A = this chain, B = another copy of it.
Amino acid sequence: MSVAGVKKVGKLVICGVGLIGGSFALALRQAGLVEHVVGIGRRPEPLAAARELGIIDEAATDWAAALAGAELVLLAMPVGQMAAVAAAIAPHLQEGTIVTDAGSTKRDVIEAIYGHLDAHLASVVPAHPIAGAEKSGPTAARADLYRQRKVVVTPLPENNPAAVARVRELWAACGAVLHEMSPQDHDRVFAAVSHLPHLLAFGLVHDLAGRANAEQLFSYAASGFRDFTRVAGSHPEMWRDICIANRQSLLAELDAYLTELAYLRALLSEGNGPALERVFDAASRARNTWADKAFPAPPSGE
User: Chain A residues in contact with chain B, CB under 8 A?
Assistant: 80, 130-134, 149-150, 152, 189-190, 192-194, 196-211, 213-214, 216-218, 220-237, 239-241, 243-244, 247, 250-251, 254-261, 264-265, 268-269, 271, 273, 276-277, 279-284, 286-288, 290-291, 294-295, 298-302
Contact = CB atoms under 8 A, between A and B. Distances in A.
Given A203-B261, A294-B221, A209 B279 contact: no
A225 B197 contact: yes
Q: Which 9 A-B pairs have the closest CB atoms?
A: A209-B286, A236-B280, A205-B283, A236-B281, A240-B277, A193-B221, A299-B300, A227-B227, A206-B283
A224 B202 contact: no
A20 to B, nearest CB: 13
Contacts of A250: 268
Contact of A232 (B150, B222, B287, B298): B287
A231 B228 contact: yes
Contact of A196 (B149, B204, B257, B269): B204
13 contacts: A131-B222, A194-B222, A197-B225, A200-B204, A201-B228, A202-B264, A202-B284, A203-B257, A205-B284, A205-B286, A228-B231, A240-B277, A251-B269
A258 B254 CA distance: 11
Nearest to A206: B283
Contacts of A299: 299-302
A291 B268 CA distance: 30
A233 B295 CA distance: 14
Residue with the highest number of chain B CB atoms closer than 10 Å, among A80, A211, A228, A239 = A228
A255 B266 CA distance: 12
A273 B244 contact: yes
Contact of A258 (B211, B261, B268): B261
A280 B207 CA distance: 11
Contacts of A211: 192
A39 B280 CA distance: 27
Contacts of A130: 220, 222
A271 B287 contact: no
A200 B287 CA distance: 13
Contacts of A223: 131-132, 295
Contacts of A193: 208, 217-218, 220-222, 225
